[in-house]
Structure 1
Amino acid sequence: MDHIPLSHEASAGDCNKQTTSTLPPEVDNCLVNARFLHLATCTNNTPHVSLMNYTYLPPNTSPYSPEPLIIMTTNPSSKKWTNLSSNPAVSLLVHDWVSHRPPTSAGRRLSGGSPAPEHRSSLASLLLNLNTSAVSSISATISGEARLVAPGTEEEKFYREAHLENNTFEGEEGPSFGGRRESVVPAAAPAERRGSNEQDDEDVRVIVVAIRDVRISDWKGGVSDYVLVPSGENGAGVNGM
């Protein structure tokens, strides 16, 4: 029976460091398919973590930057915006692990949560494990500096529209993390968006983070670091620059 490691490999310094001109495929796939990420900000030595909707723009898909980008929105009265205004350093965590907690080998929850699920047949357990393995592999930590896009600019309009399109789903009203839900309505109703929600839209600010380095952790405890460099400068191999 597989079980998670109680600790990952030593990661205080660089871990299996590599330089690359493109994101590792598993990170690109994770950013394309995950719905939320965790945004960590800090000011006065007090950290703050927010669950955020986000939009991933692959390299050269933005007219304003050739780098891969993470787009988020918030209102200027939020804690994260206050932190970023004084300290733009951020850490982002995105993963493809499922949130479902499988039963333990003891068949009980030590935390005193919900009762243990009914016993599954061997076939049901096999299918569950196969499904979990297929979607549960890595977490990616992205470190960098957030840029607060100037409001009212064409750049802000471009990122806001891309973020709205990426986070409007059938049967939902729009993004619910990182901004006011009522300030974003489905793209299928532009007249409605321009009408009653026009004032709320003025309170939304755009945050852009360029992806320049990534740390990948897998469920077995392995850790690898990647530094993105412009195409043509990728002269280093594994374990060093």
Structure 2
Amino acid sequence: MSCTEKFPDHLLSLIKTSKYVHLATSSTDGIPSVALMNYVYVPASRTFGPDANKGNDYIIFATFANTEKYNNIKTNPNVSLLFHDWVTAKNLSVKKRTLSETSTPEPSSSNLNNPSGITTANPSRLLNLLQELNQSELNEMSATIKGHGLLIAPDTDESKYFKRLLLKSNPDASVFIQGDNVHIVKVKIESAKVTDNENHTKVYN
């Protein structure tokens, strides 16, 4: 059984739809590094080839080969991923496309254009966010995923497959996904720790 089958719905939703994830890696000397990444969650049913029969769920992201995180994962594949739904105030949530078969309601175009109902000559999305922000509507949960990272060789069918999924979920991040020097990394999800703003913590293995 995949460990994510034990995750509650709100945790799975957070992992599936958060726009970014903080990736923590470490060198063999124990020097930590953190990077903000575009990613896509890939359930076991959507993994590549023989992996589909192993019941493993993955977080997929891309990295250039000349980066610190690439070198860290190459020598020390243990990683941590921090997910937090930064803002869920009304229709201004920072969300992404998901591979999930369940649909996510989309905000109406009128609300996106002017969610506050305030008319301005040059409406600012950030200004609207500040005007609409309601503390009671902020997500109060963060989740840390522990996993094992594996670098996928470029120009393989597996790399091309995951790049397509990554681009589909993050169409605005093609500069970080495409290119000769870009490697796909798949992180096997091994456990999750969820913490709320009252320091209630639960671990899922």
Structure 1 length-normalised TM: 0.60
Equivalent positions of 1:42-81 (< 5 A) are 42-43=26-27, 44-64=29-49, 65=51, 66-81=55-70
**Structure 2 residue 140 is matched with structure 1 residue 137:** yes
Q: Which residue of 2 aligns with 1:115?
A: none
Q: Which residue of 2 aligns with 1:175?
A: 173
Q: Which residue of 2 aligns with 1:161?
A: 164
Q: Which residue of 1 aligns with 2:193?
A: 215
Task: Choose which of 10, 18, 21 in structure 2 pairs with 1:34.
Answer: 18
**Structure 2 residue 24 is matched with structure 1 residue 21:** no
Q: Which moved more, 1:82-91 or 1:55-64?
A: 55-64
Of Structure 1 and Structure 2, which has the larger fraction of its residues in helix? 2
Q: Which has the higher contact order (CA 8 A, sep 6+)?
A: 1
Output one character per residue of 1:174-196: Cα deviation in whole Å (capped at 9) or x when no partner.
317xxx44x64xxxxxxxxxxxx
Q: For the Cα contact (< 8 Å) 1:144–1:211, is it kept in 2?
A: yes
Q: Which residue of 2 aligns with 1:237?
A: none
SS in 2 for 1:157: helix
Alpha carbons of structure 1 residues 99 and 25: separation in structure 2 relative to 1, 3 Å: closer
Output one character per residue of 1:169-217: Cα deviation in whole Å (capped at 9) or x when no partner.
xxxxx317xxx44x64xxxxxxxxxxxxxxxx21110000111210001
Give structure 2 stretches of 5+ with no counterpart: 90-129
C-alpha distance in structure 1 between counterparts of 2:63 and 2:133, whole Å: 37
Q: How many residues were matched structurally?
A: 158
Q: How many angstroms does 1:39 deviate by?
A: 0.3
Q: For the Cα contact (< 8 Å) 2:148–2:189, is it kept in 1?
A: no
Q: For the Cα contact (< 8 Å) 2:24–2:33, is it kept in 1?
A: yes
SS in 2 for 1:21: helix
Q: How many angstroms does 1:82 deviate by?
A: 0.9
Q: Which runs of 4+ in 1 moved over 6 A?
A: none
Q: Which residue of 1 aligns with 2:87?
A: 98
Q: For the Cα contact (< 8 Å) 2:88–2:137, is it kept in 1?
A: no
Q: For the Cα contact (< 8 Å) 1:215–1:225, is it kept in 2?
A: yes
C-alpha distance in structure 2 between counterparts of 1:47 and 1:167, whole Å: 26
Q: How many angstroms does 1:160 deviate by?
A: 0.7
C-alpha distance in structure 2 between counterparts of 1:81 and 1:63, whole Å: 21
Q: How many angstroms does 1:134 deviate by?
A: 3.3
C-alpha distance in structure 2 between counterparts of 1:61 and 1:51, whole Å: 24
SS in 1 for 2:56: coil
Q: How many angstroms does 1:167 deviate by?
A: 0.1
Q: Which residue of 2 aligns with 1:110?
A: none
Higher CA-based Rg: 1
Alpha carbons of structure 1 residues 57 and 139: separation in structure 2 relative to 1, 3 Å: same
- Sequence identity percentage: 32
Task: Choose which of 144, 147, 150 in structure 2 pairs with 1:147.
Answer: 150
